[in-house]
Amino acid sequence: MRQSFTVASIAVHSVVIAAALLAQVIADGALPTPHRPIIFDSSQFMPVDIQLPKPRVLPSARTGESASAVAAPIVAPTGVADETGREADPAPASAGLVSGVEGGAPSDIEGVGLNAAVPPPPPPPVAQMPPLRLHSGMKAPVKIGDVAPVYPVLARNAHIEGVVILEAVLDAQGRVQSVRVLRSVQTLDRAAVEAVQQWRFTPALLNGQAVPVVMTVTVNFTLQ
């Protein structure tokens, strides 16, 4: 039953499709009319003649004749002096006056216009001078008072060794003003700082003058 229904359905669809194709083949209707192109006809446009305004004329002051408004004048204006060829020369200074001074004679003013040599400012006192970095043009300080660091018990028991690098600021007399740790060994830093704070140095010299300086020192902790 189901197979018969399927065959009947295929047959009906085939007949409908064949009828549609046959209708397209035997149709004799008229073809659609194509669109007409747009053609511009020059006869539909009228040329327009544009009239330019005539130039405005003014009466001439000398002859009474008409002259263009933009024409160059042919008569020199009154009240203008003749050129002498020395208009670019600087104006002469007033006699008995010094340039840049209001009133007064040169004999009343002494040293006007002279640039006196200004002496350089004196160097700041050594006590106010900021510490300088050591360089080749200076005489480096020499340690004259040494205090050995106390090896911390905790570091000794843990067998901790190392080198602590410090930055020390010395005043002009060679005394240590402040100490800062640059390279740390945690259990050894405090002992190194306390030892360096007690060191003494000779003054650092710059051009023969004692100056405060910043220098780097190292404290080496080694177990014997």
The pLDDT tens digits of the residues spanning 102-129 come to 444 444 434 444 455 666 666 666 557 8
Task: For residue 140, tell me if it sits in a domain.
Answer: yes
Give kind and range of the element (H or E) at residue 218: strand 213-221
Residue-range definition of the domain harbouring residue 156: 129-221
User: Residue 142 maps to which CATH number?
Assistant: 3.30.2420.10
Task: For residue 158, tell me if it sits in a domain.
Answer: yes
Task: For residue 67, tell me if it sits in a domain.
Answer: no
**CA–CA dist 158, 152 (Å, integer):** 10
Question: Token pair for residue 152?
Answer: 């911390």
Cβ neighbours of 94 (radius 10 Å): 8
| pLDDT number for residue 114 | 45
Least confident of 45-54, 90-99, 115-124: 90-99
pLDDT bin (cut points 50, 70, 90) of residue 174 is very high
- Asked if residues 146 and 198 have their Cβ atoms less than 8 Å apart, the reply is no
Among 168, 165, 180, 146, which Cα is nearest to 218's?
A: 165
Task: For residue 167, tell me if it sits in a domain.
Answer: yes
| pLDDT number for residue 85 | 67
Among 86, 63, 81, which Cα is nearest to 73's?
A: 63
Query: From residue 165, how far is each of 103, 141, 176, 179, 196 by CA, in Å?
Result: 71, 18, 15, 10, 11
Q: What is the mean pLDDT of the chain?
A: 76
Task: For residue 185, tell me if it sits in a domain.
Answer: yes
Task: For residue 206, tell me if it sits in a domain.
Answer: yes
Q: Once rounded to an integer, what is the mean pLDDT over residues 207-219?
A: 94
**CA–CA dist 195, 168 (Å, integer):** 12
- Asked if residues 219 and 139 have their Cβ atoms less than 8 Å apart, the reply is no
**In terms of pTM, does the model score above 0.85?**
no
Phi, psi of 9, deg, nearest 5: -65, -40
Task: For residue 144, tell me if it sits in a domain.
Answer: yes
The domain tally of the chain equals 1
Question: Token pair for residue 100?
Answer: 């840049």
Task: For residue 116, tell me if it sits in a domain.
Answer: no
